[in-house]
Structure 1
Amino acid sequence: MTALLSILVAIAAAWTLAYLGVSLMVWSAAVVIYFAALAAVGAIGWVGLLIAAVVFAPLLILFNSTPLRRRFASKPIFKGFKAVLPPMSDTEREALEAGSTWWETEMFRGKPDWQYLLDFKRTQLTEAEQSFLDNETETLCGMLDEWEISAELKDIPQEAWEYIRAHKFFAMLIPKAHGGLGFSAVAQSTVVAKIASRSLTTAVTVMVPNSLGPGELLVHYGTKEQQDKWLPGLADGSQIPCFGLTGPEVGSDAGALPDTGIVCRGEYNGEEVLGMKLTFSKRWITLAPVATVIGLAFKLYDPDGLLGDPDTTDYGITCALISADEPGVEIGRRHSPGAFMNGPIYGKDVFVPLDAIIGGQEKAGGGWRMLVECLSAGRGISLPALSSAASKTAYRMTGAFGRIRRQFKVPVGKFEGVQEATARIGGLNYKMEAARIFTASGVDQCTPAVVTAMAKYHMTEWMRQIVNDAMDVHGGRGIQQGPRNYLFSSYQSIPIAITVEGANILTRSLMIFGQGAIRCHPYVFPEMEAARNDDLEEFDTLLWSHVGHSVNRAARTLTFGLSGAVTAKAPVSGVAAPYYRQLERFSSALAICSDITMGMLGGELKRKELLSARLGDVLSELYFGSATLKFFYDEGEKDEDIEHLHYVMQDCLHKIEQAFDGFFRNFPNRFVGGAMRVLVFPTGRHHKGPSDRLINTIGDAILEPSSFRDRLTANIYLGTDEHSATGRMEKAFDKLIEVEPAFEKFAKAVGKGEAEGFTVDEQLTSAVAAGVLTDAEARQVKEYDDLRYDAILTDAFSKEYLADPVNHRHEDHRMESRVA
């Protein structure tokens, strides 16, 4: 009995120390105290104490003596670590080092600082930014008609082009000191989203110069001379920029650029200068057909040592800025991904001076880092903004349509099968708005590479889901193209969104966890650097800190799993508190599973893309779940938000468990995979996702006018008249809310045969005669019914228009007619 009790005490003490994450010194002292206490109470005699000393004393001396530990423990591990350390190319290193880490680090390391999350101040629009949104952006939206742009002109109207340039829509990120607007990332995101809710073509046109483009590269890396030369024109719109990165042979793998710049002497503007002869072939370059300034990425070579270093021939990826009218440049042709300007750029032996290199000669070979850092920030603004706009529009219009459109005498939005889709639309919109604001606010303070990759991938995928669900609900109303269709341009844009700024498949399978694990882990990248620098002392310190970190996370994970996370911390009380605890539980689980995985697989993990993707999914859901909790907190924890919070968080936790389950099932070592499953799910999986009751509640909410609906769809453009696609549906919806009691009485009377006739007019006259409706109610129902019918119609075109839409663009397409 005494032996069993002693063992239980030892286990409890070790578990407690591991859970608390105490230092090696405390562990050592605890071992000494434990055996001394056993001897003091007579649980062991002097022989047992002597055996314990023989077993444990050498270990305590070894690990508490830095020279001994380093020589006999760390050195052999160091040798093995260096032997299995995967090779890392210069481009991989620069990608890892580029940008910064942020909140995702807290979620990855297993012990998030919740108070930091709550104290973090999301960016608020300044007075100037709000004014620009309410005035210039509103005015621009009023000038646009996406059907006219995409189906008829294949371009933005000239007056809109002029307005964009004159009012500096291309210069939102350029600082005021250089003539730009100097807007925050949140302001840029909000402006682009509002434009996108009216015209995706125009939004893409505006967003690109404010994402990865010459303006941003010049602001961050350009010389003063380059800034003075180019930025004023980029700011006032007299110069239109584009950036050439992708080409026929290179997409996501920018390190494989075949485009070259050869350092040589040549004549430029009548003078012989040291420069570069550029040869390049670029495609899919937005704004290229109308650009006056071209940013180029290419590989720079100096075969004759003219840059002053005879030992360096290959300088690597370099960025330069040239005029579009340089001799040898071919530009102006268009691809056709949609109506936005996009096309190829070619160049053969285009000679420019060395001062065309962004940042000057000293930045030769520094282009890859520039691109990664700028793209890291841009990914968190542009495509999330487009996704937000499409999703908000789909939410508002699907809710209105679902209440207006009836089948089997019931609003289609009331069918449970439909509500499964509309609940996803509502829940994902709430999650997306939380992620958009939180991520863009993070970009305002740093350049979080992993966070923005997660935002780009997941928000474009959510957009895909939302728009597809909206199309399902609308049926034929969503399929038929025309000026009445407010969904189709979003639907067409989905392949663009998931492809550009990093293909979604590769972003999920290679980047999110692959980069996140190394950048966010407190010890892995420093250990790798110590190994490459052959620094045993630094490696020794990191290694044993890493071991302590892993032991702590393992103990925390098992404890949280056994207790249902009740022992985890929550910074708030109320409905959100359990979700903080669950996220902390799975954050700890991700930390220990990542350590085990990297320790077991090492460099092989790079090729296990499906495993990497699943751990990336866990990290992503942890990030977006915490962003949603932050949004709920910042919005004042309103009662009207609670059901959407439940939907998002229950879905997040379900997806986290799904990802872990798939990871454990497919782990190469079945025993280790099973052990990790027991560690993370000691009592099994418990998160099943949103219930039917919650789905019904969210599905009902999308049909209702409310302050929540207005907040969730804020800052999108809604038409105000019956000739606007969104305005037509909004007007009919508003009228329905006003007259619905009378309309319901009328519909029931028709169904029961109490209001007779073949037409609505005849039935209304009969309803008044029967005393079902008053004259005033009949007039209201008639007004609504006309609006309702008009709202559900789709466009019909003449064959002349379809053959030649430009010259027949003012034709009336609304030719469906109502028959008795």
Structure 2
Amino acid sequence: MDHRLPSELEELRTTVEAFAHDVVAPKIGEYYENHQFPYEIVREMGRMGLFGLPFPEEYGGMGGDYLALGIALEELARVDSSVAITLEAGVSLGAMPLYHFGTEEQKQTWLPKLCTGEMLGAFGLTEPEAGSDAGGTKTTARLDAATDEWVINGSKCFITNSGTDITGLVTVTAVTGHKAASDSSGVRPLISAIIVPSGTPGFTVAAPYSKVGWNASDTRELSFTDVRVPAANLLGEEGRGYAQFLRILDEGRIAIAALATGLAQGCVDESLRYAKERKSFGKPIGENQAIQFKLADMEMRAHTSRLAWRDAASRLVHGERFKKEAALAKLYSSEIAVTNAREATQIHGGYGFMNEYPVARMWRDSKILEIGEGTSEVQRMLIAREMGL
């Protein structure tokens, strides 16, 4: 099996690598420390076509696939995860549900601007009491027959890209009815997905969270009070919203795995550079076997993680089953990202605790990767189920 990238994907990789080092790296530290969204960088990513990578040209996309998206995410995350998660959420969570489940009218209305980065979309799934248990959704939507509108009430939390100046919509999951459970245990909720445009009356976006990491990305709490949108804003089939978003999350785990791999590799890059420059007891610390072994292990983890996410992406692209492989990649890559960030901080010593060094940012950004888009515990559950347990 040849794991080398074809020429067009290698060209994409080198282009994004150069952008990350020449454009993102010099500016992102200031955005991060000031908790500011990097509109200038996002606009440039839009002009490069990164938000349209996995979408057909007919909708303004680049005609690529999830492998192309993952390559871009990995290269961005080698330098900064806030920028990478803005792209990941904008594509995997904001635009992909519309592409997979939207009507042709919905696609034509929203996808062109989402693909160019002129607009960001968000994915409203998580609630205060419905995180890993997404089936416990409390947000409701009822159809008002008199006006042919959905009336939405409830709240969502930890929603990425939901409150920027260029956010155009949030697709929210809501209970739209109930049906008898197949095991006669009572009734179960029918969860549907509904498109809510930004600025809709009753749709309130809270101030940004104060976060440990991802400080240059946008994360908000949302509330819905008698929010009315046309019945035509239903995304996909009524009652199929939960199943639809499980598919979206399966794909998104590949993207998060690529992002985590990039962070892990970025820790190697920064630590290797530092180990060659930093002198202690009269010689570079990279001449010490203890540091060499740390770096060797860090490189091994990043390399293995890359193979894992690319395998999952390849299966997805070729129409094969990929649920287990996506969970494996997400689980492994997120955990080794945390490990590499910890080791990078240790190699840098006291400087690793200073925010002026990228590894401090990477250390703060790594932990959420074991939580977002399915915790490590959920990934282990999924893997076990796919093994037949």
Q: Tell me whether the two structures share a fold, i.e. TM-score over 0.5.
A: yes
Aligned equivalents of 1:440, 1:207: Cα separation in 2: 14
Distance 1:374 1:417, change over 3 A: same
1:331 matched to 2:220? The reply is no
Q: Is the partner of 1:487 in helix, strand or coil?
A: helix
Structure 1 residue aligned with 2:175? 299
Displacement after TM superposition at 1:356 (Å): 0.9
Provide the secondary structure at the position in 1 that maps to 2:208. Answer: coil
Higher strand residue share: 2
Give the deviation of 1:488 after TM superposition.
1.2
2:253 pairs with 1:253? no
1-side partners of 2:88 and 2:376: how far apart?
A: 19
SS of equivalent residue, structure 1 residue 183: coil
Q: C-alpha displacement at 1:401, in angstroms? A: 2.5
What is the deviation of 1:153? 5.6
1:367–1:138: structure 2 CA closer, same or farther, 3 Å change rule? Answer: same
- The answer to whether residue 351 in structure 2 is matched with residue 516 in structure 1 is no
Q: What is the alpha-carbon root mean square deviation over aligned residues?
A: 2.4
Counterpart code for 2:207? R
Unaligned runs of 5+ in 2: 180-186
Structure 1 residues 126 and 358, CA gap change in structure 2 (3 angstroms) = farther
Q: Deviations over 1:713-752 (max 9, x none)?
A: xxxxxxxxxxxxxxxxxxxxxxxxxxxxxxxxxxxxxxxx
Letter of the 2:162 counterpart: A
- What do residues 381-421 of structure 1 show as CA deviations (whole Å, max 9, x unaligned)? 2x222222222222233223223333333432333433442
Aligned residue in 2 for 1:489: 361
State the partner residue of 1:524. Answer: none
Contact 1:122 1:438 in 2 (8 A): no
Distance in 1 separating the partners of 2:274 and 2:17:
27
| CA distances 1:763-782 after superposition (whole Å, capped 9, x unpaired) | xxxxxxxxxxxxxxxxxxxx
Distance 1:136 1:403, change over 3 A: closer
Rounded Cα–Cα distance in structure 2 between residues aligned with 1:418 and 1:137: 26
1:357 and 2:234 correspond? yes
Equivalent in the alignment of 1:196: 77
Once residues 155 and 299 of structure 2 are traced to their aligned partners in structure 1, the CA distance between those partners, rounded to angstroms, is 44
Q: Is the 8 A contact 2:130 2:136 kept in 1?
A: yes
- Provide the TM-score with structure 1 as the length reference: 0.43
Structure 1 position 500 matched with structure 2 position 372: yes
Q: 2:192: which partner in 1?
A: 318
Give the C-alpha shift of residue 140 in structure 1: 6.0
Contact 1:277 1:352 in 2 (8 A): yes
Residue 210 of structure 1 pairs with residue 91 of structure 2 = yes
CA positional deviation for 1:182: 2.5
Distance 2:247 2:382 in 1: 14
The 5 Å alignment of 1:39-58 reads none
Question: Which residue is equivalent to 2:330?
Answer: 456
2:258 and 2:306 in contact (8 A); partners too? no
- The share of aligned pairs that are identical, in percent, is 22
For the residues of structure 1 that align with 2:350 and 2:201, how far apart are their CA atoms?
52
Which is greater in Rg? Answer: 1
Measure, in 1, the Cα distance between the counterparts of 2:7 and 2:20.
20
Structure 1 portions without partners, runs of 5+: 1-117, 267-271, 304-312, 519-597, 599-820
- The alignment's TM-score, normalised by the length of structure 2, stands at 0.88
Q: CA deviation at 1:465?
A: 1.1
Matched-pair contact (CA < 8 Å) for 2:150–2:228: yes
* 2-structure distance, mates of 1:167, 1:417: 42
Q: Distance in 1 between matches of 2:31 and 2:126?
A: 26
Question: For residue 349 of structure 1, what is the amino acid of its counterpart?
Answer: D
Give the helix-richer structure, 1 or 2.
Answer: 1
Aligned twin of 2:224: 347
Partner letter of residue 171 of structure 1?
Answer: G
**Alpha-carbon separation, structure 1, partners of 2:348 and 2:17:** 29
Amino acid at match of 1:295: T
Question: Displacement of 1:315 after TM fit?
Answer: 5.9
Q: Distance in 2 between matches of 1:135 and 1:225?
A: 34
Matched, 1:378 2:252: yes
Q: Tell me: CA distance 1:332–1:161, structure 2 relative to 1, closer, same or farther (3 Å).
A: farther
State the shift of 1:334 in Å. Answer: 1.1
State yes or no: 1:397 paired with 2:277.
no
> In the aligned structure 2, how far is the partner of 1:263 from the partner of 1:302?
14
Counterpart CA distance in 2 for 1:125 and 1:286 is 32
Residues 211 and 379, structure 1, Cα contact 8 Å, conserved in 2: no
1:186 paired to 2:67: yes
Q: What do residues 183-223 of structure 1 show as CA deviations (whole Å, max 9, x unaligned)?
A: 2222111111112222221111111122223x211211111
Aligned ranges for residues 692-703 of structure 1 at < 5 Å? none
SS of match in other structure, 1:182:
coil
What's 2:33 paired with? Answer: 151
Shift of 1:299: 1.0
Aligned-residue offset at 1:131: 4.5
Deviation track 1:257-311 (CA, whole Å, cap 9, x = no partner) reads 0011112224xxxxx3x232111201100001122111111111289xxxxxxxx
State the aligned residue count: 374
Any conservation in 1 of the 2:49–2:116 contact (CA below 8 Å)?
A: yes
8 Å contact from structure 1 (residues 276, 352) kept in 2: yes
1:143 partner amino acid: V
Any conservation in 2 of the 1:166–1:236 contact (CA below 8 Å)?
Answer: yes
Contact 1:123-1:186 within 8 A present in 2 as well: no
- Mapped partners of 2:371, 2:134: distance in 1: 14
Please list the CA deviations of residues 651-689 of structure 1 after superposition, one character each: whole Å capped at 9, or x if unmatched. xxxxxxxxxxxxxxxxxxxxxxxxxxxxxxxxxxxxxxx
SS in 2 for 1:262: strand
Distance 1:431 1:134 in 2: 21
1:92 corresponds to which residue?
none
Equivalent position of 2:342 in the other structure? 468
Distance 2:21 2:294 in 1: 29
* Superposition deviation, residue 133 in structure 1: 4.2
1:501 Cα offset (Å): 0.4
CA distance in 1, matches of 2:201, 2:3: 48
2:191 is matched by which residue type in structure 1? Answer: I
